[in-house]
Amino acid sequence: MADLVITIDGPAGSGKSTVARLLAKKLDASFLDTGAMYRTVTLAAMQSGVNMSDQEKLLEVMEKKNLNFSSREGIMLAHIDGADVSEQIREPEVTANAHYVASAAKLREKLVEMQRDFAAGEEKIVTEGRDQGTVAFGDADIKFYLTAQAGERAKRRLTELRAKGRSDRLEDVQQAIEERDKSDKNRAVGPLRPADDAIVIDTTELSIEEVVETVLGCVKEKCPG
């Protein structure tokens, strides 16, 4: 296990990916975007044309395909059978189908195992997702849970989509975010919730820089070394 494990969980659009990436950079730690893993399995299943609600078929895809994850300069790279799919896993169709993989207990077990293996090879790690502090790294050194009002999270997501040249409507983006929240919070395995010992930060009124400063302050206080 790494000497320092920091978990950041939270719903879509809470800023956790950006904050985790910047925090990892400041601490010279590795960064693990576990959402990228769920997305990659989802894409592999879509490419294979299997029934997404059939857990056994999803498991088969995971076993047959060579899925590889690495982190380079704070960016998670994902490969399926040697092909770089790091961009493709961000497509809205993959986002919309990811809940199938996220709610399949056996797949979550395997992905958590992969996350722990990844951490074992690192000295310091900042890992983000939905269940990092509650399931994957229950004994993490510091746990954060970032949240923000759904309307604000939708605005942030819309800005990202516009930057990619898309012209989605705010109402649709907000509705999709609220649906994902519901599915993330209500699944039987690894549901989205703050760990009992997590530091909860509402980022609605905060800039990314302010969140990073707050998080960094907590880390320094708790782990001065």
Binding site for ligand DC (CB under 6 A): 12, 34-35, 38-39, 98-99, 102, 129-132, 180, 184, 190
Pair type for strands 75-80 and 83-84: antiparallel
What are φ and ψ of residue 74, in 5° steps?
75, 5
Residue with tokens 């949240």: 147
Where helices occur in the chain by DSSP H, the ranges are 16-27, 34-48, 55-64, 92-102, 105-120, 150-163, 170-186, 208-222
Q: Which residue is nearest to ligand DC (CB)?
A: 35
In terms of CB distance, is 123 or 179 closer to ligand DC? 179
- Closest approach of Cβ 190 to ligand DC, in Å? 6
Instruction: Tell me, rounded to whole angstroms, the distance of Cα 72 from its chain centroid.
Output: 16
Cβ proximity to ligand DC: between 139 and 221 the closer is 139
Minimum gap (Å) between residue 171 Cβ and ligand DC: 20
Q: Provide the minimum distance between the beta carbon of 49 and ligand DC in the complex, in angstroms, as a whole number.
A: 20
Q: CB of residue 12 vs ligand DC: minimum separation in angstroms?
A: 5
Of 131 and 152, nearer to ligand DC (C-beta) is 131
Rounded Cα distance, 16 and 54, in Å: 30
Q: CB of 143: closest distance to ligand DC in angstroms?
A: 13
Closest CB to ligand DC among residues 52, 102 = 102
Residue with tokens 């939708």: 154
Nearer to ligand DC, 95 or 204 (CB): 95
Q: Are the CB atoms for 50 and 161 separated by under 8 Å?
A: no
Which residue from 118, 116, 100, 113 is spatially nearest to 38, judged by alpha carbons? 100
Distance CA 215, CA 172 (A): 31
